[in-house]
Structure 1
Amino acid sequence: MIVLLASLLTSVLATLYFTHRSLRLTLHAHHERTLPPSTSTRITSLPADLTHSPEKYSIFYDQASRPVPRRLLPDIPLPELLTALLRRNMTAFSHFPQAWLLRLNCPTERGSFCSSYIQKLEFGQGECVCGVYRVAAREDDRVELEMSRGNVAGRLVIGYVVGKDRETVTFSNETVMWCRRDEGKLPLENRVVRFFHEMTAWWLMDSGVCYLMDMDGSEGEEKLAFGKNG
């Protein structure tokens, strides 16, 4: 029995490792222990003290993005595609182990985990999703979700950028997390926690872009090749 369990655990860990590695190769992903220079002006809902005095805080930032040719996306306005991406990804996330832990520790807003609720969201200012995420800012090209647990606060930003040639759209998922330096450590400073965070964020971004490409029901060769090869 012990040998069987050890073999099963090894198989699971190997699968997770290779999935993580594959996603890293598919996406443009990186993380930093400080705020990138453009973040303070682009993410408008960040507290002023965080951007003016970052030395007071422990900060973790990461981003995962995936470009896609505009011609492979449905002929729908991009702000509407962003809403569709958010609905799909937050519905998928609501079934992840992390969301179940949030649900157990969230005495209010439990209805915000329900798929039927998420599928009706427009992600307007103040709307709540999956218990701890509340829309702090909404623009045509991005949604900024605020979150806080104890001494730790953060932003989850999902959005897109249109290339200068207007032929490419890059969808991205950004996480900013912070706490005062004298109030403990950030969860994402732990390598194991960060590994599973990356797995979740990267998979949602990768599969979310594939979902958008398939919204019109077309499975052309070019779309299939992009979905497989990134």
Structure 2
Amino acid sequence: MDILKPLTTRLTAHPKLLISALSIAAPIAYLSYLHHTLSKTTTHVRSSGPLTREAVADISSVPASVLGGGYKMVRDKAWKRVPKTEMPDKGGEEMVKLYLRETMGLFARRFPQAYLLRVVAPGGARTFDKEYIGGCVFGVGEVVAGVYKVARREGSEKSGVVEFEMVMGKEKREGAPEGRLVVGGREVEGEWEWWSETVMWVEEGGAMPLEKRGVRWLHEVAAWWLLGRGVGYLKGLKRAEGKGE
């Protein structure tokens, strides 16, 4: 017996209901396919636990006031390695700047959450504009896409990293989660490693978005896709160099 027959009969008998069901199912199916595909080309790790200096030793912009107990954290990191020969002839600091202009621009123009942030973000709507992001150097204090404020920036010929503070309001709400977005690249054994990492923390007893399975899944799709687009953009710059453009 076809156990789905009652459902399919009802849907086909009510076209509007069928259209509604398809409008929900199609995006979910596409995102599921995209998540599966990206997981094959992206290295990924997630961790959680108490927020201590040892746990975030590589992220210097995390304030000392939240370390040492009373806070829990979630870290989610994705990275790719590509041959050095596929990267443009530029230093690490310059490449990170170009990478961020591309990926932050894509986020601001294409992601639904960016449209919501335009309304509520303390950084202002202009920080989402293509021209604004295209002129960013990602210096300390600079705000991109409304909520991402540069808290630390370092770079050299062989590496570069930018740590963004996620500023969700002009004043911090008591018990609200805080976090950092860390984006960087570095030369490792003849390759370039590019990574994007989100770290969130909240007082014990509080809740963080990345603790929710659905939110975490959507975050992975977005982070992995942007990582791939950023690396692909840099590869494109290398190809352009070879053509003398």
User: Under a length normalisation based on structure 2, what TM-score does the superposition of the two structures give?
Assistant: 0.81
| Counterpart residue number, 1:59 | 73
- For 1:189-204, list aligned pairs within 5 A: 189-204=211-226
- Pairing 1:152-163 to 2, within 5 Å after superposition: 152-163=177-188
1:168-209 C-alpha deviation (Å, 9 max, x unpaired)? 010000100111114x21111111211211111110001110
Deviation at 1:50, TM superposition (A): 3.5
Per-residue deviation, residues 82-106 of structure 1 (Å, max 9, x unmatched): 1000111101110211111111112
Q: Does 1:176 align with 2:199?
A: yes
> SS of the residue aligned with 1:193?
helix
Question: Corresponding residue for 1:223?
Answer: none
Counterpart of 1:142?
161
Partner residue in 2 for 1:27: 42
Q: Do 1:58 and 1:186's aligned partners in 2 also have CA atoms closer than 8 Å? A: no
The C-alpha deviation readout for 1:119-158, integer Å capped at 9, x for no partner, is 1111011111111111000000200000133411100000
Local SS of the residue matching 1:143: strand
Q: How many angstroms apart in 1 are the aligned matches of 2:94 and 2:38?
A: 26
Task: Note if 1:112 corresponds to 2:122.
Answer: no
Letter in 1 for 2:161: R
- From 193, 207, 217, give the equivalent of 2:229: 207
Identity %: 37
Query: One-letter code of the match for 1:41?
Result: A
Structure 2 vs 1, CA of residues 38 and 66 (structure 1 numbering), >3 Å: closer, same or farther? farther
3-state SS of 2:88 partner = coil
Cα 1:37–1:21 change in 2 (3 A) is farther
Shift in Å, 1:30 = 1.6
Query: Do the aligned residues in 2 keep the contact of 1:178 with 1:186 (CA within 8 Å)?
Result: yes
Alignment coverage as a number of residue pairs = 215
In structure 2, what is the Cα distance between the partners aligned to 1:36 and 1:153?
14
Give, in whole Å, the separation in 1 of the partners of 2:52 and 2:60.
14
* Distance across 2 between alignment mates of 1:62 and 1:36: 16
Q: CA deviation at 1:109?
A: 2.2
| Unmatched tracts of structure 1, length 5 or more | 221-230
Q: Which runs of 5+ in 2 are unaligned?
A: 1-15
Partner of 2:145: 130
Larger radius of gyration: 2
